[in-house]
Every structure is written in structure tokens, then in C-alpha cells.
Structure 1
Amino acid sequence: MTEGRLLGDGRYSLDGRLGRGGMGHVWLAYDKKLGRPVAVKLLDMERVRMHRKGRKAALTEAMRVRFEKEWQSMARIQSPYVAALYDRGDEAGQVYLVMEYVDGIALDAYMGFGSSLTLEQTVRWSVQVSEGLADASEVDVVHRDIKPANIMINERGNAKIVDFGLARLLDMSDTRTAGATWQYAAPERWQGSPGDHLSDLYSLGCVMYEMLTGNPPFTSRSGDMMEVGVMHQRHRPAPPLNVRRGIPEELSNLVMTLLAKRPEQRPQHARSVIHLIRQVEHTPSHETGPAQIGSHSTPHVNPDYVERIRESERLVRNYLAEHGEHHSSVIEARFTLAELTGESGDSRGAADQYETLGDDCKRLFGPADSRALNAFDAMARWIAAPA
């Protein structure tokens, strides 16, 4: 497959490869008819067939029939938090899906190496993913592969779920064939069930656990996915608030409920999850001023700060793109964002942001630079604030 190839009777022009997954390639393409960029997923049907050991090549034709049925189900989802499915096709033996192009970064790029998110980010993106799951559930569509790599954060700082229903389309009910999915797969998936909306909520619990603590609930030092599978089925992870300071009890309890081994013990609908997440959003009644909020209240998200935090994030992204990480405007915007995070009720998030900023200033300007020292002083101040 090369750039410039046309699909859909010349309607879609492939402009550049965006990535490669276990079952195909994703390309940035241009829809000439509607004049907009789109994402085209080219499904590797031969590879799909090979994953189904013992089946004959005729499975490919059966997959095409199923493809037509399943994509219609996927296309019914109407949600601002789910990447829309626009079209599908089968051309010269190449099966493809045409989807909304999400200009952004996958959630997993915000984490990794033990890094966690701020409370405001965790609440914002968890609510948005839950909204997308709820909208899909209402038209009887299940994702079956919720993980950070399938959650895109767009340029406005909002979450969108991608690849909705693709695991079902490819008949990957055995999680062992689904790449990194096993880190986020519900116990019933490990036991051979194709899963349902409650399995998606379990996977959301795994993602939220990683948002809060910096790591999935179950990992294997040796990378043995079967060991992780046993953990999903039999073990109980430590509650997030016992892993990392500054996590609201409400969020920690919700995550543990989402991770219940038995589906009937989990929240039964994504909309109830949204309600529970929002319990950490409140303005302290004893508030005496911004400087007091982070220091004298339990971890929470003050909604009075949400828009200012999102605007500060936007400024950081814009300044980075325009000037680069060393520019004074970027450094100043990052100081502002870290301070707003603490004032909103998230002292741990502020301390983490200031620590990262201090390390970056040391790297960029030297260990004696005043900006690095100021960042570490601010980090110490927020660490000292009661979580």
C-alpha cells in the first residue's frame, strides 16, 4: 500500500500511514467528496484468517458477510466521545473502514513509566469515556477493547474512543490474540466469554486505575500475559488510595467496584459511573481563598477551576507547538497550570507537575537555574499540603 492510492472509486486518497495494529494499518486519508480528512483502517483479512487456526480460507468470505452486518451496528453510535464511522468498503480484496480522523494523542502517551494524571484530567476523561460507552450501550454496541491506546485526546483536550466494535468485527473473543488487550480484559473475557457492556466497564476501571496510580491494576515483571490473566480472575489489586497519595476515596472506591470479578457486582450502566465520578467535583464550603483550597481540604476537583485549567492546558499546547519547550512562554504557562491544579484541590497533581517542570528546567537551563529551583520549591510546598 502506497501513499496516493485511491479507494472507494477514487473518493478516498491515502496520504500517509498513521499506525499499524494487530489486524491492519491506519492511514490518514482525504475524502474528496466531502472535502475533509478521515482515517482509513485497512483490515488484513489474511492475517485475521491465520489467527483462527484450523479454519479454511473460506472464512475470509464469511468475514466479509459479517463485516457488512457489524459495521452497520458500529455506525449507529452517535456520540461526541466516540470517533464516528463514516463508510466501509471492499475493493480489490482490500476490506477497509472509513472513520472520523481524531487529531490528537492517545491516552497512553500521557501515562507510562509510572506517571499518573491530575485529578481534573482523570475526572474529565473518565466521564467522557463513560459518556461514549453509555451512548454505545444504548444502541447495543460493545467495544470489547477499551484501553489507553484506544482513547484519543484531541486538540481541545477531550477524549474520544476509537476502534469501537472492531474487536467484535474481527471475532477476537480470545483475549490472548488481542495484543496488549490482556492488561485491561475482564475476568469473563479470560474465561472465553465475548463480553458485554459490563466487560467494557471493567476495562474502564483498569484504565482509571492507571490514570490514578500510573500503572494498570495487574502487571507481570516477566511480561507473562497468562500470569496477568490469573490475576484478573483471582486477585484483588490494592485500592488506588493505598498506592498513591492524594486520591479521593470516592474515586478509589468506584475503581474497585468497577474491578469486581463478577459482572453483576459492577455498576450496571455507564451513566451511573458518571454520577459516581462527579462526586469528587465540589467547591469546599470553608473556602477562604485560592491559596487555602489545596492546603485544607481532602483531594477533590473544584469546578470553579476547570475552565481555567483547560485554558491553561490549551496555552501550553499552543506555545509548545509554536515556540518549543525551552521558550519562556511555555515555562510560564506550565507554572500557571501546576498552580491551578493545586488550587483546584489536587495537591498531589500540583507536586507532580512541578517536579516534572523542575526536571525539565534543569535539563534545559542547568541545575542552578532559578526556574528549576522555583519549581522544586513549589513542589515541596504542595507535598507539604495535606492530601
Structure 2
Amino acid sequence: MNATDPVANLAALIRCPSVTPAEGGALALLQSLLTPLGFAVERMTATEEGTPDVENLYARIGSEGPHLMFAGHTDVVPVGDEAAWSHPPFAAEIADGDMFGRGAVDMKGGIACFVAAIARHIEKHGQPKGSMSFLITGDEEGPSINGTSKLLEWAAAKGETWDACVVGEPTNPDQLGDMIKIGRRGSLSGHITVHGVQGHAAYPHLADNPVRGLLQLTHALMSPAFDNGTDNFQPSNLEVTTVDTGNAATNVIPARATAAFNIRFNDTWTAETLRAEIIRRLDEAAATGDLRPDRSPVRYDLVWADRPSHVFLTRNNALISSLSGAVAAVTGKEPKLSTTGGTSDARFIKDYCPVVEFGLVGQTMHMVDERVAVEDLETLTRIYQTFIERWFDHAVS
């Protein structure tokens, strides 16, 4: 198989049914593509009690600096209703200029293109002027416990260090060249339980409706706004994502009410200062409010979700300018530098080296009939190839 062809690379990867946490043959395929190029390939399985084991891959070519990493994931989300697909989700069929398949854009397509780009680079120039590595996980779409974070720890313990990283997530909203992600907002989640007194809906004075208290608390979380945004980030935004009483009866006041929330926050906050602000708001709302006149303060418990994602912003000019310049050279477009969207595994990588994200157009990711324009695969490969040349030229100058 010729690794320089991104279309063939992607078709082979899509045909590997690597739904999290299954390896599905995807890492074995990558190993077969990278080893002939001169990469030393290692596969490690990460484990943690209560979570499925996950196999990951690390491959490196070269032994000297500078060291450029490409990071991504071969695991994909489930296909959903397979009968709703117009083409089988693991067949990689091409129709009307698009390749269909789960993972086509998120993100086997990015991996396929970067493999093709480095293969072309080696074919044209020989080995890189320093080192390159692939850090590929099978746990990005899952709990993200036995994936990139543990693979980084494992590699770092072996003495690996990196100067820069590109994550091949689908960052472009409409067309290739639209957007490079140079940072991400943080993410913090929590779960509130309000305790009341169960009773008959016709005799509310004998009960204490926890829904009233929960409404007071959730209103305080959503208003006023946490901030107005910063130069590089959108305003922080909190959403209440679940509300429940576990009560099927319409004439019974429930004993408790629960709500979950998630806030995506900018660099005005850290996870620690944000937790403190949320607790302040909840305590203030628990003691006041007109939904519970003449009642004692709302009794509530707050449980934080494990492992918040921390906000970060990459300011490395060599990395950003090399990638922006490559995008402009190939597409003629000046990409927007953005911090929008959700979280990605870049949140782990940023603790080891500067990191940015750039990949395919993400309009169909996680959808039925996920697909990628075949011509975009060639364009992205040329962008990555140009970036590799520019980055090493910049890094060794």
C-alpha cells in the first residue's frame, strides 16, 4: 500500500471498525504504513480500574531535535441506526465526490492526510531535519482516561520531549482553510441535589418542594453572566443540562430534585476560582429568593465532576505562522485563529509542548452519512506537507 495516497489511507482506516474502545485493526494498519517509512512504532495498552483497556500507538522517526508531533485518534463514535446510512458506515464508498464512512472527518481523515504528507516529505527530501512522531489514541471519543493523557505520560517517562504539536481534529466550519484552533476554553461540570420534604401537592405547607429551591439555585448559576469574554475567548457560558425529580406522580411533592450543569469558561477564570464563584452564587441563592417565602435556606449538595479541562492559549509564533502560511499557500485563504468549540485532546498535550489544531471540514462529524470531499483529502495533505517543510525550516534556522 502506497502511504503517499491519502484517499487509499483513509479508505483502509474507515474499514477498520474501531468504535471506542475497540482497536478494530486501525492501529495495526497505521503501523504497517509507518514502519516502511522508517518510523519506530510502539503500541501500549493503558488500563485503569472501572474503565475499558485502550490500545494506543506511538511512532517516531529521527533521534534529534527539533521534534514535531502529530496527534489524533483512530477511535470513532457508534454509527447509530445503520439502516439510515445511504452507504455502509465502514465501507469507505465514494459517491458524487465524497467518501462516506464513520470517522471520515473525525478524525481518520486527518490521520490519513498526515501520513500521506510525511510519506511525500520523506520521498522528496529524505528524513526530516529533526524528528517527527505520531501520538495516536483509541480513547478520544470515550472517557479519555486511557488515551492521550496516559500515552503522553508513558512517552515522557521514556525520555520523549516535543517542540510542537498539530492535532488533526476537523477544525474548519465550512471550507478547508477557514480556521486553526490555537486554544480551547475550559470545561467544568457539577451535579446539584436539593433536599426537600415529600408530601401531598394539596398540602404544600406540610412539605418542602425541592423544585422551588432548585429553580433558585439554577437561576443564580445562569444569571448574571460570568464575564463578557476576553480578547481571545468568547464569554464564559453555563448551561443546565439535566433536571430530574425521579417522580412520576403529579400529586406528590418530591423529596429531592437534581440538576447537572456544565460551564465552558475563558481565561478570566481557573477551575479553582470558578468553583469558588459557583459556590458563592449557590450559597447566596439558597438563603434568598421569593420562590420559598418564610422557609429556611435551601438544603443542597454539590458534587464536582472529575478532571476539569483547563483553558489554554497557544502563543508559539513558529508553529502558528508555519501552519497559517501553509494554509494560505495552498488554499489562498488566511485562516481565522480561534478558540471556539468544545474540548479536545489538545488539553492534555498543552502541558508538554505548544499545540494547535487543524483538520478537515467538520460539518458531518458524528452524523449519519459522515463523509469527506475526496478533493479535500488531497488539499489537506498538501497543506500538511507544506507545513512540515515550513516548520522544520523555521525551527532549525
**TM-score by structure 1 length?**
0.24
Higher helix proportion (structure 1 or 2)? 1
Higher strand proportion (structure 1 or 2)? 2
Higher Cα radius of gyration: 2
